[in-house]
Amino acid sequence: MEEIRSLEDLFDLQREDSEIDRLLDRRGGMPELAAYKEAHGRAARLDTKIAEVTGRLREMSLGVDKAEGELKMGEEKLGREEHRLFAGGLSAKEALHMRQEVDMLKRQNSEAETTILELLDMREVAQGELDALEAERREVAAEQARLEGLIQAAWKEIDASIARHEAKKAEIVPLIAEDLMEMYDELRPIKEGVAVARMAEGICGGCHLALSAAEQSQVLKSSPPRCLHCRRILVPQ
């Protein structure tokens, strides 16, 4: 009778461990976790794009500043050259050279203005791209926060359940014979977490294979009873 009671306690322990395993699988297999991982990857990709576009914007702004500075200097120089040209007192050769210089400065200033306008257009497009990326990043951050809230709430509930089953385990383990516990601990890792099963109507509850009458008699005579097919510990019903 003492052995049967110990086997029943062992079966109770198996049920607690199986429930803990189920809860751990649920904890690690929540669909929200996969969605959070996907959102995290999406956020990382967006951060990379945002950094890239921000860098391009910085370069464009520096380009605009440089072009505007060059245009200002070109306009100031053009003003001085035009003033000298229109002031008179130049020889025909000097006047011709001065007009050529003025024309060249006008072309350069015109090209600088075109460059500035092109850079401003490009910067506007890049700024629009950045605004869209940052808006998407905020959406992803909000989704991450929502998923994290769901995950934390579910984990809190699951962890509380695990703690209750662990407490029950702590009550059961001292009731089980030491040799049975050793066998149980050895079998669980190699039997997909199920080391103990019921034998009901000649069928092993672990591998679900039937045992003949002679096999059942052989199993019941062994200590502890073990399935001849899967070698799990059997608890007769």
Predicted confidence (pLDDT) per residue in 20-64, tens digit: 999 999 999 999 999 999 999 999 999 999 999 999 999 999 999
Instruction: Tell me the whole-structure pTM to 2 decimals.
Output: 0.73
Same domain assignment for residues 96 and 213: no
Contact assessment for residue 74 and residue 112, using Cβ atoms and an 8 Å cutoff: yes
Instruction: Return d(Cα 75, Cα 158) in angstroms, integer.
Output: 74
CATH code for the domain in which residue 106 is found:
1.10.287.1700
Listed range (65-79, 162-176, 198-212) with the worst mean pLDDT: 65-79
Residue with tokens 């003033």: 83
- Is 95 within the bounds of a domain? yes
Question: CA dihedral in degrees (74, 80, 82, 84; nearest 10)?
Answer: -150
Same domain assignment for residues 106 and 191: no
Q: What is the DSSP letter of 212?
A: -
Q: Find the domain containing 192 and state its range.
A: 181-236
Neighbours of 7 (CB within 10 A): 21
Same domain assignment for residues 61 and 98: yes
